[in-house]
Structure 1
Amino acid sequence: MEELSYDELAGMVMKDVVPATIGRATIAWNNVSQSVYYIFQTLTGLDHDAAKAAFFAVSSDRSQRDMTQALIEQKLKPINPKLAKRAMAALGDVNGLAGKRNDILHVVFAATDDPKTASLFHGRGHIKDKSGSELISSVHQVAMRSLQAASALLEIASEIMRLPEFHPAPLPTPPKDIFQLGTTSAANLEGFGLLDFLATMPPSPDEEPQ
């Protein structure tokens, strides 16, 4: 098999830079949405499936964040005002970043085979006058900021989960002597466990003694 030249290999890599950068920014924003969801689920107290059904029934990212902010105000602020303030500030940062994410998502990219010549088919928002490496760098910066925002939200979600008001109650501890009933060890595998009776069928009426 003939080996590819350096220029051919470089060309293959270059063709992936633009779509990979745009895709990375999209996935990074998905991480933001997921992090917001974890705060929403924790504050509602719903199980995972019910929380997902409610949260993602609302198709607007902004509306999902608005719901979560309302829960922070009502459920978290009375318990931990400082953490609530951090959570509101983190969601505010996401709201400020959302416009730049939309610029990337709702624009048509042109000349994507080479990041040096990448351009926009039509201008939009903070990237409207950019092209080439400057354009790709701007998209990359949005991805990095999104990942930072997601990380901050996850940290806040973790702190909320550790609060006694939102931490699931532990299962009650069974009495220490529960396994001492019937036998001196754990449940008898050959019988009825704690009762230690043999696992035999009761006699039929015809077999009962007269």
Structure 2
Amino acid sequence: MADPTDYKATASRILREPLPDGLLAGIGGNAPRKVKETAVKWLNIYHAPPKCFSGAVTRRTAVIEVSLDSNPLEDGQALTLISETDVCDEMLDGQGKVSCAFIITIIDECVSSAVTTLSSAQGGPRLSGVSLSLDTVFSQFCRTRCEAALREQDPSSRRWHDVLRLPGVGPNPAEARRHVHFRRNAAICPFMTAS
């Protein structure tokens, strides 16, 4: 892990240095220049050296719109941050689909950037330690890799020996094991690993 003082120094430097007008000209939305600049800078902070998670890949995330609107539920504002990411080979799983880890990373970075940008636009600190604690389940991802099998001995599959809750299957782990098999070449989701 990077030294926190290095991280704060790098973040402070990025926040101090102005961005070129040409970089911000392509960003739509009604937010003032300073707010758009803060959103872009925060994504740059997440990808700054010395260490960052999948920086070479997530650097492809680009801000395309930043808007500030009144928030009808509170006396304040709502920030809309829209960004795009070019998908590259490094982001794909074994099935050729974008990896769940990259989806979660991009969501975390973009939402954290939006929260910090809104705080800054309302007079709060521009340097924040905000990050999300995401508890994400990709149910469709798992459904495509599970197959119901009533055969007890299937040489092309292996049993998953953890407790699974399935629609139509009771809470008995033995019953769940009898009904669910995973293909040998299927990637096991991180939340399904045995603890």
TM range (shorter): under 0.3
- Greater helix share, 1 or 2? 1
What's the TM-score once normalised by structure 2's chain length? Answer: 0.26
| Structure with the larger RCO, 1 or 2 (CA within 8 Å, 6+ apart) | 1
What's the TM-score once normalised by structure 1's chain length? Answer: 0.25
